[in-house]
Amino acid sequence: MDIVPIQFPSIPNIGAITPAAAPTAPTGPSGIGAVADTEFGSLVLDGLDRLEGLTDKADTLAVQAATGNLDNIHDYTIAASEASVASQLTVAVRNRAVEAFNEIMRMQV
């Protein structure tokens, strides 16, 4: 059994490297998910307001279910699930923010 050597095709020469253009400063937010003129704090407060609204709705429907005034139990189930998921997401975001803050505080300057 003969061993056939591996043959590689020739690699063409690389052209001269030209200097890159000077970087330009971005003019503002762009791309998918860009939020114009919205501060981080206001986004957090809006999220907390939505969470409070979801939990209030779930609490109201729970009282209606307990008193027998709720026609469709599925409304309560959906509202309770939405409030639970929103609460879990809020806690996860808070934990990540605290973790990031602690990491920044551990940095040596």
The 10s digit of each residue's pLDDT in 1-42 is: 677 777 767 767 666 666 666 666 666 555 555 555 678 889
| Domain chopping of the chain, boundaries | 40-106
Question: Alpha-carbon distance 54 to 57, whole Å?
Answer: 5
Give residue 41's pLDDT: 87
What is the average pLDDT value for the chain, to the nearest integer?
Answer: 84
Answer for the pair 86, 54: CB distance below 8 angstroms, yes or no.
yes
Sign of CA dihedral 30, 34, 41, 91: negative
Rounded to 10°, the helix 40-67/73-106 angle is: 150
